[in-house]
Amino acid sequence: MPFTNDRIVLISGTAHPELSQAISAELSVPLANAHVGRFPDGEIDIKVYDDIRGADVFVLQPTSPPVNENWVELLLLLDCLRRASAGRITAVMPYYGYARKDRKDEGRVPISAKVVANTISGSGADRIVTVDMHAAQIQGFYDIPVDHLYAKPVLMRAVRALAVDNPVVVTPDVGGIKMARSWAKALGADLAIVDKRRISGSEIAVEHVIGEVGGRNVIIVDDMISTGGSISEAAHIVRREGARQIVLAVSHAVFCGPAVERLDGCPADRILATDTIPRRGRSPRNLELVSIAPLLARAIHNIHRCESVSSLFDDTP
Ligand code: R5P
Residue 316: its pLDDT value, please?
45
Residue 202: its pLDDT value, please?
79
CATH code where residue 273 lies: 3.40.50.2020
Same-domain pairing of 13 and 113: yes
In 114-189, DSSP assigns E strands to 127-131, 146-149, 167-171
Question: Given the DSSP bridges, would you call strands 204-210 and 190-198 parallel, antiparallel or unpaired?
Answer: antiparallel
Residue 243 is part of which domain span? Answer: 152-291
Sign of the C-alpha dihedral computed for residues 3, 63, 113 and 311 taken in this order = positive
Q: Do 168 and 211 touch, CB atoms closer than 8 A?
A: yes
Same-domain pairing of 72 and 103: yes
Inter-CA distances, 266 with 70, 99, 201, 205, 260, Å: 31, 26, 19, 15, 10
CA of 282 from ligand 1 middle (Å) equals 20
pLDDT in tens, the chain (317 residues): 556 678 999 999 999 999 999 999 999 999 999 999 999 999 999 999 999 999 999 999 999 999 999 999 999 999 999 999 999 999 999 999 999 999 999 999 999 999 999 999 999 999 999 999 999 999 999 999 999 999 999 999 999 999 999 999 999 999 999 999 999 999 999 999 999 888 888 788 888 999 999 999 999 999 999 999 999 999 999 999 999 999 999 999 999 999 999 999 999 999 999 999 999 999 999 999 999 999 999 999 999 999 999 999 965 44
Closest CA to 297 of 26, 21, 17, 6: 26
Same-domain pairing of 198 and 303: no
CA of 182 from ligand 1 middle (Å) equals 19
Pocket of ligand 1 (CB under 6 A): 172-173, 175-176, 202, 204, 222-230
Same-domain pairing of 126 and 164: no
Residue ID of nearest Cα to ligand 1 atom 2: 175
CA 181 – CA 263 distance, rounded (Å): 24
Please list the active-site residues.
196
Same-domain pairing of 192 and 255: yes
Same-domain pairing of 113 and 162: no
Q: What domain count does the chain have?
A: 2
Does the reported pTM lie above 0.85? yes
pLDDT digits (tens, 9 = 90+) for 17-70: 999 999 999 999 999 999 999 999 999 999 999 999 999 999 999 999 999 999
Q: What is the b/e burial string over 161-177, where b = at least 16 CB atoms within 10 angstroms of the residue's CB?
A: ebebeebbbbbbbeebe
Same-domain pairing of 124 and 224: no
| Amino acid (one-letter) located at 198 | R
Same-domain pairing of 158 and 278: yes
CA of 225 from ligand 1 middle (Å) equals 6
Same-domain pairing of 201 and 71: no
CA of 107 from ligand 1 middle (Å) equals 22
CA of 111 from ligand 1 middle (Å) equals 18
Same-domain pairing of 91 and 209: no
Element (H, E) at 57: strand 56-60
Relative to the CA of 175, which ligand 1 atom is closest? Answer: 2
222, 227, 250: residue to mutate for ligand 1 pocket, most atoms within 8 A of CB: 222
Neighbours of 160 (CB within 10 A): 11
Q: Give the angle 70-75-76 at the CA atoms, nearest 5°.
A: 100
Same-domain pairing of 29 and 160: no
131, 223, 256: residue to mutate for ligand 1 pocket, most atoms within 8 A of CB: 223
Relative to the CA of 229, which ligand 1 atom is closest? Answer: 14
Same-domain pairing of 204 and 80: no
Question: Given the DSSP bridges, would you call strands 44-48 and 34-38 parallel, antiparallel or unpaired?
Answer: antiparallel
Residue 315: its pLDDT value, please?
59
